[in-house]
């Protein structure tokens, strides 16, 4: 039998992107759908063939294999038929994108969904900057849906069990023909579980889980920042009727620190200094989060807004090596209370000023004079 090239069959170029291939497939599928061509064996055969072609070309791995080896890529144990299924698989993908997964059965198309994963949980946890620096062993108390001990999560009264749903015969889905489409929906009797419980557990009323308060231990690693998310596997809500538990996501928040502000791995501190220290120079000591006292040498002529940096004295790198920097930004403080002697000394200093002591101020006033022609 002659094998038709998939690209020719869908009437697209070999380099066509996914959107172009899907558009071409949709048009052809609507034209030759069996419901539009009742009794036409040729149209039905073509419908199956274009589904096979689309199933292959929409999958990047299958498409790469087909581009290299052609139809031989799926023969003699090479992965089976590219399309597979009953001819409706690829056609349903178009409507899943429009109406959502449940339109044609979603991920569990035609299959039984007798277990459901529990929901993930979010927990907002506030810590200090010191805790973020050193890390912390936290004990969290949660109100969560946990597996029922009485029925061991099955939902059925001890000594009994679940029965196959008579409505969907255990598939968890029911199908109905609506015009051109074969619509598949979640079974209304078992809600997609494939099973029903005739004699539910008294403790959980058939859910397989009960509300419970539990305490878990969590390690907060050094270097976490505002908004850091920590995942704890299996500590979310228990799944219904023995389904696997979801995960717990802890979102870290940092409380305001009285001295430091954090930007990434850098720590910033605003430090006021006297105008004499700024003019003559000196040194200051800043206690770091690492427990050390870090000395900063202030050079003469320090201005407001200038910064000094201590390498490696900042925050640790999260799940990495090394630390950021500790940065001190200076604010020169003008004295507000002066003794008579101090005023006298400052007056003497002002009388000896030449303008070279503060070049920025002198330059500013020179510009003002030039603007007014003085």
Residue ranges of the annotated binding site for Zn(2+) are 148, 151, 165, 168, 187, 190, 201, 204
| Distance from C-alpha of 19 to C-alpha of 14, rounded to nearest angstrom | 13
- DSSP for 140-193, written as a single string: EEEEEEEE-TTTTTS-BPTT---EE-TTTTTSSEEEEEETTEEEEEE-TTTTTS
Binding site: which residues?
Answer: 148, 151, 165, 168, 187, 190, 201, 204
Phi and psi at 269, nearest 5°, equal -135, 135
Taking the CB of residue 253, how many other CB atoms lie within 10 A of it? 13
Residue 142: Cβ-neighbour burial (10 angstroms; 0-12, 13-18, 19+): middle
The CA-CA-CA angle for residues 294, 326, 219, to 5°, reads 105
| Distance from C-alpha of 265 to C-alpha of 259, rounded to nearest angstrom | 16
DSSP 8-state secondary structure symbol assigned to residue 107: G
Q: Which residue has the tokens 């949980």?
A: 121
Q: 303 to each of 275, 279, 318, 365, how far by Cα in Å?
A: 9, 9, 34, 19
């Amino acid at each position: 039998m002659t094998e038709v090239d998939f690209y020719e069959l869908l009437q697209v170029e070999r380099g066509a992107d996914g959107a172009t291939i899907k558009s071409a497939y949709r048009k052809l599928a609507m034209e030759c759908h069996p419901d539009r061509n009742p009794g036409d064996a040729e149209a039905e055969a073509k419908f199956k063939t274009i589904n096979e072609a689309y199933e292959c070309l929409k999958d990047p791995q299958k498409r790469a294999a087909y581009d290299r080896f052609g139809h031989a890529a799926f023969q003699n144990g090479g992965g089976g038929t590219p399309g597979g299924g009953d001819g409706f698989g690829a056609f349903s993908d178009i409507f899943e994108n429009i109406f959502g997964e449940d339109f044609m059965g979603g991920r569990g198309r035609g299959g039984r969904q007798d277990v459901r994963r529990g929901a993930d949980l979010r927990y907002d946890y506030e810590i200090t900057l010191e805790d973020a620096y050193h890390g912390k062993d936290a004990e969290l108390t949660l109100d969560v849906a946990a597996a029922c001990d009485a029925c061991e999560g099955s939902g059925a009264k001890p000594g009994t069990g679940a029965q196959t749903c008579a409505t969907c015969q255990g598939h968890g889905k029911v199908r109905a023909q609506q015009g051109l489409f074969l619509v598949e929906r979640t079974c209304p009797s078992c809600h997609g579980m494939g099973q029903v419980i005739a004699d539910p557990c008294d403790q959980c009323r058939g859910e397989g889980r009960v509300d419970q308060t539990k305490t878990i231990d969590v390690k907060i690693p050094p270097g976490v920042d505002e908004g850091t998310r920590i995942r704890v596997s299996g500590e979310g809500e228990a799944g219904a009727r023995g389904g696997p538990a979801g995960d717990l996501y802890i979102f870290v928040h940092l409380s305001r620190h009285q001295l430091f502000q954090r930007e990434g791995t850098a720590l910033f501190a605003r430090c006021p200094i006297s105008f004499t220290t700024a003019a003559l120079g000196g040194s200051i000591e800043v206690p770091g989060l690492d427990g050390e006292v870090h000395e900063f040498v202030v050079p003469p002529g320090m201005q407001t807004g200038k910064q000094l940096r201590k390498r490696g004295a900042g925050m640790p790198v999260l799940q990495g090596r090394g630390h950021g920097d500790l940065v001190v930004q200076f604010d020169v403080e003008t004295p507000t209370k002066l003794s008579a002697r101090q005023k006298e000394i400052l007056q003497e200093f002002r009388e000896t000023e030449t303008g070279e002591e503060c070049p920025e101020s002198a330059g500013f006033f020179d510009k003002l004079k030039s603007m007014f022609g003085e």
